[in-house]
Amino acid sequence: MNEEIRVGTTRITFHVTAFYPPMDIAEAHVDVPIYVTTGETIGNHGKGSVPAHVQQDFDKKVEHALQVFADTLEASFKEGERNVEKH
């Protein structure tokens, strides 16, 4: 029976940048676990490649992470507006 095993992780970074003046406002990182299926083989040549993939629901996880990031960023802007009004 073939199973998926995790073989590594890569990271995707999203940046929020203001255009004028140009500056980075915030960034979010999404760690992407990479899997292979145990039935895949390299062969007997001692080198080669095995197809790797992300989880089936990866797009939903990224969408959720970015929504949380956007909500947090929006809340921080609203908090900043309140602080400006107080001064």
The answer to whether residue 85 scores a pLDDT higher than 60 is no
Per-residue pLDDT band for 87 (boundaries 50, 70, 90) equals very low
Q: Report the predicted TM-score, pTM, of the whole model to 2 decimal places.
A: 0.52
- State the pLDDT at residue 72: 83
pLDDT tens per residue, range 20-72: 787 777 788 888 888 888 776 666 666 667 778 888 888 888 888 888 888 88
- State the pLDDT at residue 80: 66
Q: How far is CA 2 from CA 8, 35, 36, 40, 57, in A?
A: 18, 12, 10, 9, 19
